Chains A and B, each alone.
Chain A
Amino acid sequence: MSDGKLVFTHGNGAIVEGAISAGCRFYAGYPITPSSEIAEEMSNRLPKVGGIYVQGEDELASINMIVGASMAGAKAMTATSGPGFSLMQEGLGLAIATETPVVIVDMMRAGPSTGIASKAWQGDIMQARFGSHSDYEIISIYPWSVQEAFDLTVESFNLAERYMTPVVLLGDAILARMRERLHIKAPDEMNIILRKKPGESSENYLPYKRDQFLVPAIASFGEGFFVLKDSLTHNERGYYYEKPEVQEKYVKGINEKIEKNARDIEKWDAVLTEDAEVVIVAAGTMARVAYSMIMEARKKNRKWGLFRPITIWPFPEDQLKNATKNARYIIVIEMSTGKLVYPVKWSINENARVRLVSWLNYEAPSPEELERLCEKEMNG
């Protein structure tokens, strides 16, 4: 078990450490570049701490196994990349519908389809939000460093347990394999959250009755509650009824649970945005380059700032509005044809100031290259 130490590891390794520190003792996964190291490390580490590693026969087995394990009370995780994430969408929907906490890591890679396995991309940002069918809200987090990969994995488990929801932890092939210093926090340095337990078992137990934060206290299996977890639309009792009022209440509940708690969930970082005339918006690995770029710009007395959403979903709308209130330009930089640009536009409700620098080269740009492209957007 982690006991507060300093190591030098890659993003994948940091995620494993974070998961184990958070209390994850069940992992079911399928190998897929660039996330396979997570599976490998988990298969090594979990048995040592009494946990269980299963290599599923496919991603469908993996996602459904972690949902099952979590239904029975375990903290469970899987890791994949784009193609596997596509396969897991129905399972993610099952976790949403039954309000089962799980952590799903998507180490994004160049796509679409099989793409280029070992090369970074940021194209799954919308899929993290809308990949499964029908109406739901999701929590999705995107770290930009090895240390953040650790911290935010712990946070992912906390949010999953707190809100009884799946959490999609995004990463990319660069984060996955880059090595940096990692401080593995000691247990007393961290706050670990466990799902709320229902009170006494009774005939009147309503597993899906929401508390004041709109979160239900759902019993795990084997606790004497005879709880039914149904992927069909259900009422507070967990029972399926084909009635419009049941559907409406159910959909509202699932969505408002995240929506109404967004202020407490969202995380972001605003660097030198107070007086910025140009605010760069970037996430994950591209934000690392953007950070260097704005620091260099500031040295040349240019008023550039960086807004980095850490929770991509729920997107920190108000915070973005606040950070960009004085900006002339809001330049969204991403390694894709443009995904993050949409919640940016939705947040501030206008297009005029928003520009997109769409970097379609899977090797990260240099700060200078990026600066040139930003200039072009502003002058062009």
Chain B
Amino acid sequence: MNLQSQTAAQKRSFEVLVINDRCKECGLCIELCPPKVLDRLDNYNNFGYRPTYIKDEAGCIGCKICEYACPEFAIFVRKVDKK
């Protein structure tokens, strides 16, 4: 599986993790995201879809609408451990 993890933006409270090869580019997460921090990558996964990625790491409010809406178990949100 081709994985992607958004790391090391100090301001962010949440990280959005996408399992690239599960994404089928349906666009629901991108459209439904309230602060509009998600977008499509330019490159394709192994099934020919362009997966979602988080374009503004600090902007995620952790609402998990993307996680709950995703039909693919491809995207989920985690609270960042702030030390």
Direct A–B contact in complex, judged by CB atoms less than 8 Å apart: no
Interface residues of A (CB under 8 A from B): none
B interface residues with partner A (beta carbon < 8 Å)? none
